[in-house]
Amino acid sequence: MKSRKLRELNVSAIGLGCMGFSHGYGPAPERGESIRLIRRAFEMGCNFFDTAEVYGAGDNESIVGEALKPLRQQAILATKLHISDTRDKSLKAIITAHLDASLQRLQTDYIDLYYQHRVNKDIPVEEVAECMGELIKDGKIRGWGQSQATEQELRRAHAVTPLTAIQSEYSIMERMFEKDVIPACAELNIGFVPFSPLASGFLSGKHNAQSKFTGDDVRKGITRYYKENILANQPLIDLLDQFASQKQATAAQISLAWMLHKNDFIVPIPGMRSEARFKENFGAADVELTAPEFQQIETALAQIEIYGNRTDEDIAKLYR
């Protein structure tokens, strides 16, 4: 697969979001199958794997760690910590404790990319950045990032310890970061890693108003999956299908190719749990849009209204 750079990290143009191997999208594969699939993704050219301490209450890191243990020196491993409370302990002690627990589950002695999993508005980003800088000097992480950060938050943090990447939601259906965050990343040589680059699978075109989501599937709380919004968003799927037909590709591949065309520091991490999806989504790295084709898509998108969205607050309601 083609490669891209997140600051100094050399990664495959498309990474693998691993959350679904534990939870979030209905029944997860059996543990052994998850490990096999992660290793298969590597064999197919993906070297960039994303997890987090909260996915499956640590179970996801454990699965990813076991899968990548024999491949550790060749893989780029990203995980995330959530800082909720700093009472009674120093921030450095809290972050280090989280990191040490992740390192143990991941069976490694360093993390390539360590994100703050959402920016805690009560903790100055400068203080987090300073701690991350110390961990980089200690060799425990190679780089760090923020998730869903604003332009000002990333600029303030970057001034203390340069950011490797910002990981935030970005897709054809969610473009709010195009206004300021992505241009700031371009200016400051910060990578941008879109999660939900296929809008939680919506842009694959494989779901319709009759689709059912059960168990812990987060799509039950994503309003773009409400029946009325699925129907209202059909013009977008029709547009993607039109270009997919022209390029002998799929709607998902056009969605990812559109994103890859925009900037060379954007590296999407779709969640996938089958070899068929690996082949399809990794294959998007070879679907090249010409400048006129890209402009045709942009012009058409400007005429299409998007219905529904995805918010942390809506998803959190599922677990109360």
Residue 213 belongs to some domain of the structure: no
Q: Is 140 exposed, middle or buried (0-12, 13-18, 19+ CB in 10 A)?
A: middle
Residue 238 belongs to some domain of the structure: no
pLDDT in tens, 230-283: 999 999 999 999 999 999 999 999 999 999 999 999 999 999 999 999 999 999
Residues 21/49, Cβ–Cβ less than 8 Å: no
Residue 237 belongs to some domain of the structure: no
Q: Please name the amino acid found at residue 153.
A: E
- Angle at which helix 181-188 crosses helix 151-160, to 10 degrees, equals 20
Q: Given pLDDT bands bounded at 50, 70 and 90, which one contains residue 152?
A: very high
How many domains does the chain divide into?
1
Residue 277 φ/ψ region, left for φ over 0, alpha for ψ in the -120 to 50 degree band, beta for the rest: alpha
Q: Name the strand (E) or helix (H) holding 6.
A: strand 3-6
User: Is 319 among the catalytic positions?
Assistant: no
Per DSSP, which regions of 7-160 are E strands? 9-12, 16-17, 48-50, 76-81, 113-116, 144-147
Of the candidate ranges 82-96, 102-116, 155-169, 224-238, the one whose mean pLDDT is the lowest: 82-96
Q: What is the mean pLDDT of residues 143-166?
A: 98
State both tokens at 143.
């780089």
Residue 185 belongs to some domain of the structure: yes
Give 142's contacts (C-beta < 8 A, 6+ positions apart).
8, 9, 110, 111, 112, 113, 136, 164
Q: What are the backbone dihedrals phi and psi of residue 251, each rounded to the nearest 5 degrees, phi first?
A: -60, -40
Domain that holds residue 147: 3-206+252-287
Residue 106 belongs to some domain of the structure: yes
| Confidence (pTM) | 0.96
Q: What is the pLDDT of residue 312?
A: 87
Q: Tell me the C-alpha to C-alpha distance, in Å, between residue 19 and each of 53, 80, 88, 218.
A: 10, 12, 31, 11
- Rounded CA-CA distance 233/235 in Å is 6
pLDDT in tens, 62-98: 999 999 999 999 999 999 999 987 777 899 999 999 9
Q: What are the backbone dihedrals phi and psi of residue 34, each rounded to the nearest 5 degrees, phi first?
A: -60, -45
The CATH number of the domain holding residue 279 is 3.20.20.100
Q: For the chain, what is the mean pLDDT? A: 95
Q: What is the mean pLDDT of residues 115-130?
A: 96
Q: Please name the amino acid found at residue 48.
A: F
Q: Which of 25, 55, 114, 170 is catalytic?
A: 55
- Rounded CA-CA distance 196/171 in Å is 7
State both tokens at 24.
């979030």
Residue 214 belongs to some domain of the structure: no
Residue 138 has pLDDT above 90, yes or no: yes
Residue 210 has pLDDT above 90, yes or no: no
Residue 160 belongs to some domain of the structure: yes
- Rounded CA-CA distance 200/240 in Å is 16
Residue 212 belongs to some domain of the structure: no
